[in-house]
Amino acid sequence: MAKKYDTIIIGAGPGGMTAATYASRANLSVLMLDRGIYGGQMNNTAEIENYPGFSSVMGADLAEKMYASATQFGAEYAFGTVENLERQADQTWLVTTDMDQYQANSVIVATGAAYKKLGVPGEDEYAGRGVSYCAVCDGAFFRNQHVYVVGGGDSAVEEAVYLAGMAEQVTLIHRHATLSAQQILQKRAFDAKNLDFIWNTEVQEILGDGQAVTALRLHDKENKRDYEVAAAGIFIYVGLLPVSDMVAGLDVRDERGWIVTDETMATKQPGLYALGDVRQKALRQITTAVGDAAIAGQNAYAYNEAFKTDTLTQEIQG
């Protein structure tokens, strides 16, 4: 039989772990499920400078501190990729992973978002062999080499600055003429002596020798010309996609796949909540995920109390 919990949290990033803290402090039995190590994208972030209480903190260190808080009141943690959510006849949720099944009165989806791909030839072929979506993970492989970063938002600019600390040369490619990153990040990028920019340009193809990336084919939108540049690696930061396939059949997503909730983090499905980057919202930050999580954890508690009362009433009447 599937092991039963009051609340199951899918995802153990900053939002998932905070929700676990709130729910378990309210004396709910809680399980966090994640397909990887707890911490989510924080583990791929060198320094976090906009989280209250820290002038600067390493992403992995903050993940460790949050995990300690999340589990101190009894919340459990397990590996597994959630493949399906199904509401049962008794109004509980059946959570099916690639490894096991679990049952819960309520479910909180905190799966976040994944980096969007460029979708160009060579991207999949050279993934892990010069194509990367994580400067912290792979930057050290490109010491004293020339690498390219694609994008113009916070992640792209921040990671370009990080790479400039180890690579010989970093070039940021952006399809527009201006960056959209925060001004403080832009200033750091413009101040870096070994970081330059290619504007109004798109990557058409990632080229290699069969073993690793060797060059990029670019398209200059302004001058309408294609050309190639030698490259040891390319780091891609062109947007996010919601990790929400597990709720595809529940009619809780918008046309782009983001989960729609109200201000209590509740979806239209009773007992199903969502928080953080997977939710339809304007700002996706650790702080906003944590704020969502406090609300979701508290409302999961309220839902569980009502659920148990209703169940008891039905048993008595039955």
**Choice among 44-48, 87-91, 104-108 with the minimum mean pLDDT:** 44-48
Mean pLDDT to the nearest integer, 307-313: 77
Question: Which residue out of 6, 138, 154, 277 is catalytically annotated?
Answer: 138
Are β-strands 76-79 and 30-34 bridged in parallel, bridged antiparallel, or unpaired?
parallel
**Active site includes 245?**
no
Mean pLDDT to the nearest integer, 128-148: 92
Question: Which residue out of 134, 196, 220, 245 is catalytically annotated?
Answer: 134
171: Cβ–Cβ under 8 A, 6 or more apart, which residues? 146, 147, 148, 149, 195, 196, 197, 198, 229
To which residue do tokens 């200033």 refer?
Answer: 187
Tell me the one-letter amino acid at 133: Y
- Residue 175 has a CB neighbour count (10 Å cut-off) of 16
Asked whether the predicted pLDDT for residue 18 surpasses 90, the reply is yes
* Three-state DSSP state, 47: strand
Q: Whole-model pTM?
A: 0.82
State how far the Cα of 64 lies from the Cα of 72, in Å rounded to an integer: 12
Q: What is the pLDDT of residue 48?
A: 86
307: Cβ–Cβ under 8 A, 6 or more apart, which residues? 91, 105, 106, 271
Q: Which of 19, 2, 18 is nearest to 273 (CA)?
A: 19
Assess contact for 264 and 98: CB atoms under 8 A.
Answer: no
Question: Which residue out of 100, 137, 226, 262 is catalytically annotated?
Answer: 137
Q: What is the pLDDT of residue 317?
A: 58
The confidence band for 46, taking pLDDT boundaries of 50, 70 and 90, is confident
Q: Which is higher by pLDDT, 115 or 23?
A: 23
To which residue do tokens 């989280």 refer?
Answer: 51
Assess contact for 275 and 23: CB atoms under 8 A.
Answer: no
Mean pLDDT to the nearest integer, 123-144: 91
Q: What is the pLDDT of residue 181?
A: 95
Asked whether the predicted pLDDT for residue 314 surpasses 70, the reply is no
Mean pLDDT to the nearest integer, 93-115: 96
Q: Set out the domains of the chain in order of their start, with CATH numbers.
A: 3-114+240-317 (3.50.50.60), 131-236 (3.50.50.60)
State how far the Cα of 242 lies from the Cα of 256, in Å rounded to an integer: 8
Q: What is the pLDDT of residue 318?
A: 54
